[in-house]
Amino acid sequence: MPVGRALASLYAGSLACDFAVPPGARRLARVPDAGDGFLKQSLPPPGLPYEVDRVEFWQVPGSPQGVLAWEKRHVPHALAASGSGLGSLRGVILDWQDSYDLPAVPGQASPSGQIDSRTMTVFAVGAGNGRADIEVVVVVGWIPPRPAAEVVPPAARAVTIAVKPDINLHITPPAPVTVTDPAQVRRIVALVDGLPLAPPGAFSCPFDGFARLVLTFRARPGGPALAVAEPDLEGCQWVSFTIGGTPRPSLGATGRGLAFAASVTHIAGLPWNLSKMVM
């Protein structure tokens, strides 16, 4: 089993134990049928890569809202409330839910191959006779290690830096600059090579007007591109990466593309105000 998945399995088991079992609760062996099947619909899709899921079912005395309120008062303090929601059918509310997150795993120098997210969601539906059916869904995500070969080729001796402003701004960007100073090129290459893989999964990204920095690595100025890294300055702000014209998985942490790009321009000594390139 990959190291990331093994760690995720351990954390999923630990997080499942953080569910505070309400008084009088009874563990169920399978998904209950109450609430017009809403709990069946909330089950995690099977086989998602880079994710470990744990699901438990309970039947509890009380109303769904009351049970969730009790849970909120009794979950461990380390769990931070991260959202709540309702499920309805033809205007009738049938499902209540609260989510909790654990903070980043301490001691991780890099998220590459490590734990990315730890979430527990508690769903509740009415089961009749003053009872509620509860589903506890634990999801632990992990990021696989970045393949050793997916780095800037060692032959790179020059990097051309260009910026593309948000398409809605209609402004003229500064002219591209080619950096050939060996120390500066090494530092920029190290920044790109030090990025982890971007988090897997589906995301709802903020507005993206396609503003980005473009880093083109070459063996010599004007030579063919060995690799291209493009940190997005808007949206989810990941770093697109190609080697020899072949797209590779995106890199970087969510929301860090602008900061990464600013580090590059600082190393190169460029007085560009990248914040003016975005909406």
| Secondary structure letter of residue 110 according to DSSP | -
Phi and psi of 229, rounded to 5°? Answer: -115, 130
CA-closest candidate to residue 214, choices 233, 189, 231: 231
| pLDDT score at 257 | 94
Please count the other Cβ atoms lying within 10 Å of the Cβ belonging to residue 249.
Answer: 14
The pLDDT of residue 34:
61
C-alpha–C-alpha distance, residues 268 and 28, integer Å? 61
| Distance (Å, whole) CA 70 – CA 132 | 13
Give residue 4's pLDDT: 74
What whole-number distance in Å separates Cα of residue 63 and Cα of residue 127? 9
Q: Which residues contact 250 (CB under 8 A, 6 or more apart)?
A: 197, 198, 238, 239, 240, 241
For each of the domains in the chain, give its residue range(s) and CATH number, in order of start.
Answer: 3-142 (3.30.530), 158-277 (3.30.1490)
The answer to whether residues 213 and 230 touch, using CB atoms and an 8 Å cutoff, is: yes
- H/E stretch holding 170 reads none
d(CA 40, CA 30): 10
**Digits of tens for pLDDT over the chain (279 positions)?**
566 778 889 999 999 999 999 999 999 998 887 655 567 666 666 656 678 899 999 999 999 999 999 999 999 999 999 999 887 766 667 789 999 999 877 656 444 457 878 999 999 999 889 999 999 999 998 877 888 889 999 999 999 999 999 999 989 999 999 999 999 999 999 999 999 888 776 667 888 889 999 999 999 999 999 999 999 999 999 999 999 999 999 999 888 999 999 999 999 999 999 999 998
Residue 166 makes CB contacts below 8 A (sequence gap 6+) with 209, 210, 211, 233, 234, 277, 278, 279
Q: So what's the pLDDT on residue 46?
A: 62
pLDDT of residue 205: 80
| CB 232, CB 199: distance < 8 Å | no
Query: Which pTM does this prediction carry?
Result: 0.64
Q: Which residues contact 45 (CB under 8 A, 6 or more apart)?
A: none
pLDDT of residue 111: 47
Would strands 115-128 and 158-164 be described as parallel, antiparallel, or unpaired? unpaired
Spatial neighbors of 91 by CB under 8 A, at least 6 apart, are none
